[in-house]
């Protein structure tokens, strides 16, 4: 798959926003001692970090998953 600078830029921005939201939520849950939600936010932050660091791989994975979902619901 060819690299598209616009797609890379958009995924980086969206991932950064998700990361910022997760950081705020993690702080709120940590202060309330809700460890289950803390773990969920931590996993989400790991996914966001993966999308930021490995943008090309994230695009490839999302493309494959999207293709599989669309091929399941053929019209």
Could you tell me the residue range of the domain that residue 37 belongs to?
A: 5-72
Only one residue has tokens 């490995």, namely: 54
| H or E segment to which residue 58 belongs | helix 55-72
DSSP character at residue 48:
H
How confident is residue 1, by pLDDT bands cut at 50, 70 and 90?
A: very low
Number of domains in the chain: 1
Report how far residue 72's alpha carbon sits from residue 36's, in angstroms, rounded to the nearest whole number: 33
Give me the pLDDT at residue 2, please: 53
Q: What is the tens place of the pLDDT at every residue in 30-75? A: 767 667 777 777 788 888 888 888 888 888 888 888 888 888 776 6
Question: Does pLDDT of 21 surpass 80?
Answer: yes
């Amino acid at each position: 798959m060819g690299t598209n600078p616009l797609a890379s830029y958009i995924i980086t921005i969206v991932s950064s926003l998700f990361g910022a939201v997760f950081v705020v939520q993690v702080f709120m849950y940590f202060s309330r001692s809700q460890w289950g939600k803390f773990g969920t936010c931590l996993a989400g932050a790991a996914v966001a970090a993966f999308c930021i660091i490995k943008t090309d791989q994230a695009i490839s994975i999302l493309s494959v998953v999207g293709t599989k979902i669309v091929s399941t619901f053929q019209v």
